[in-house]
Structure 1
């Protein structure tokens, strides 16, 4: 059984023989990368279909268990509805077909897989309409239109949370199943042991936007600093760097005191930042899931999130595994920060509860098996890993 994964995948983080070779940079997401590694660990033969802005011609890298097909990316793909990228990946899929394809996100990757005509499922990891409502620009309008085409054509869909599922229309829900996101089994091992938490809180956010709500978080932290002037606020992620959009806003509004603008960094360093913090503040107004909150829970860091922010209340077990606040209110956010920072007992309880809740509900073993069970249902037959088949045949021959 060969499973195809059409998704943004960091091919340098895959568990294969070519990991340390000269590979192109890809538009990568840890979740889909870890999903591929999970399939490989279970003995499946896997074909990855992804893309890169760093190549002039499509590339194919092949080992016994894993084949990686890399299509090309051109600048400003939204102006072309990503058609060049879609067609490039679709050609690679047809040249190197899998038995079944799991496509992550309802945009160019799923569209490319649909053009190949292979049995497949589309995994939804955001709510395109909500993103458009929070980012009213032409690019998000294009993405919403792509999502509409892909979801309409799809026969089978996975929603990454109850929140995402409930945001779908009735017809789409009938062809959908909820399978939550997961954290990778090696996540704990990549976090340096923390003897003592640093005197800072951290936010990890991809973009300075209305949806991510950094402005309100900065206003809240300014209030916290009046009562706890030694505390720092570390901002990590796209547009969170020195002189980036978040820094410019903070400087212009006198909100930069005590704030470190760290920008994007390798995943290991991000996890070290999270693990060393007294709390992870997630001020986003809407989240279909909230992977960074789950990662913080695994790292035993207390979490603060929005009480109306999509799936966040469920992920925080309605306030049992993290503090919920009104992310529209600087006073509410500031109050939650001070609670966690100043109450060592509460912070320790949240750290322990969050860790246990993550382990019990979002482990890779359980979630990846749910994916495989759904694929078997779609195909109408059990999925047998290629490597297990070979071992069985070898045992029979030896007997």
Structure 2
């Protein structure tokens, strides 16, 4: 049995013999790579399907257990309804077929997998309607339309949280099960021990938008800075670099004092930066899951998140594993952050309770076993492990 994983894959995070190779840039999402690694550790043969904006022809890498097929991604795919990307992925899958495919996200990757006719389960990692409501532009309208096509065509759907599941209509819920996201089992071991906390709070954000709500967080930090001038605020992620959208906004509104605009960082650097922070401020108004929150819980950094921010209240065990606040109010955010910074007893409690809740509910072992059990149910047979021994790379 060969399992396929189709989605955005960070090739540098894969645990295979080709670590250190100068791979082309890909559309990457760490969770997909961690999922592949989890399957490999269980002895499964895996074929990963992803794409890259910097290659002229599809590329295939192959090792003992893992084959990675990289299709092409052309500029401005939304203007073409992602049709080129879907076709290129579809043809690559057909040339290198798996027995079963798990597709991540209900967009071009899932569409391509479904078009092959290979048995496929689609993992829902966001709520397309909520994304469109918070980003009212043509690109998100195209994405919403693709999502509608995919969820209609798919026979099997997996929602990454109860929040995502509850956003679906009754008909879609009838073919959907809920399996939460997970953290990789090597997350803690990847940190240099012991981690020394430094005097900053951190937000990790993929985009400066109404949904991510960094403007309110910056206003809150201005108040925090007045009360505790020694504390810094570090912004990590897309649009968070110097000169980026967040920096421009902060400069225009005189909110940049004490803020470090670090921009995108490699996954291990992000994890290390979260681990060293006094707390993680998660300002998003809506979140289908909240991977960065889970990662903070695992590495021992208390979290402040939104009371009504999608799955965040559940992820923080309704205030038992993190501090919940009105994320739409800069005053409420500032008050919650300041109270937590001043209360070392509460910091220690949230750190321990957050870690315990994460281990019990979101560990790799627990979650991937649920995926494999569902695949077995779909296929009507118990999955068997397999291992091969060849290593080579090729151009398609």
TM range (shorter): over 0.9
**1:158 match:** 158
**1:92 match:** 92
Contact 2:219–2:330 under 8 Å retained in 1: yes
1:350-387 deviations in whole A, cap 9, x for unaligned? Answer: 11111111111100011001000000111111101123
Residues in 1 aligned to 2:231 and 2:20: alpha-carbon distance in whole angstroms: 40
**1:32 match:** 32
Contact 1:278–1:340 under 8 Å retained in 2: no
Residues in 2 aligned to 1:220 and 1:23: alpha-carbon distance in whole angstroms: 40
**1:231 match:** 231
**1:337 match:** 337
Aligned length: 389
**1:395 match:** none
Q: How does 1:300-315 map to 2 (within 5 A)?
A: 300-315=300-315
**1:319 match:** 319
By how many angstroms is 1:19 displaced? 2.1
**2:297 match:** 297
* Structure 1, gaps ≥5 residues long: 391-399
Contact 2:195–2:275 under 8 Å retained in 1: no
Task: Report SS of the residue matched to 1:386.
Answer: coil
Residues in 1 aligned to 2:158 and 2:124: alpha-carbon distance in whole angstroms: 6
By how many angstroms is 1:20 displaced? 2.1
1:179-203 deviations in whole A, cap 9, x for unaligned? Answer: 0000001100112234542111000
Contact 1:194–1:275 under 8 Å retained in 2: no
1:163-184 deviations in whole A, cap 9, x for unaligned? Answer: 0000000000000000000000
**1:11 match:** 11
Q: Which moved more, 1:132-141 or 1:189-198?
A: 189-198
1:264-289 deviations in whole A, cap 9, x for unaligned? Answer: 11111111110111100000000000
Contact 1:194–1:276 under 8 Å retained in 2: no
**2:167 match:** 167
Residues in 2 aligned to 1:221 and 1:78: alpha-carbon distance in whole angstroms: 36
Residues in 1 aligned to 2:328 and 2:129: alpha-carbon distance in whole angstroms: 20
Contact 2:42–2:385 under 8 Å retained in 1: yes
By how many angstroms is 1:15 displaced? 1.4
Q: How does 1:173-188 map to 2 (within 5 A)?
A: 173-188=173-188
Residues in 2 aligned to 1:312 and 1:213: alpha-carbon distance in whole angstroms: 14
Please tell me whether residue 44 in structure 1 is matched to residue 44 in structure 2.
yes
Q: Which moved more, 1:3-12 or 1:200-209?
A: 3-12
Residues in 2 aligned to 1:255 and 1:224: alpha-carbon distance in whole angstroms: 11
Contact 1:40–1:46 under 8 Å retained in 2: yes
By how many angstroms is 1:138 displaced? 0.7
Task: Report SS of the residue matched to 1:241.
Answer: coil
RMSD value over aligned CA atoms?
1.2
Q: CA, structure 1 residues 377+281, in 2 after alignment: closer, same or farther (shift >3 Å)?
A: same
Task: Report SS of the residue matched to 2:17.
Answer: coil
**1:137 match:** 137
By how many angstroms is 1:152 displaced? 0.5
Residues in 2 aligned to 1:195 and 1:99: alpha-carbon distance in whole angstroms: 43
Contact 2:8–2:51 under 8 Å retained in 1: yes
Please tell me whether residue 379 in structure 1 is matched to residue 388 in structure 2.
no
* Structure 2, gaps ≥5 residues long: 390-396
Residues in 2 aligned to 1:171 and 1:206: alpha-carbon distance in whole angstroms: 31
**2:117 match:** 117
Task: Report SS of the residue matched to 1:33.
Answer: helix
1:73-132 deviations in whole A, cap 9, x for unaligned? Answer: 100011011111110010011111111000000000000001100011000000000000
Contact 1:307–1:326 under 8 Å retained in 2: yes
**1:214 match:** 214
By how many angstroms is 1:44 displaced? 0.6
1:268-317 deviations in whole A, cap 9, x for unaligned? Answer: 11111101111000000000000000000001000000000000000000
**1:22 match:** 22
Task: Report SS of the residue matched to 1:349.
Answer: helix
**2:285 match:** 285
Contact 2:195–2:276 under 8 Å retained in 1: no
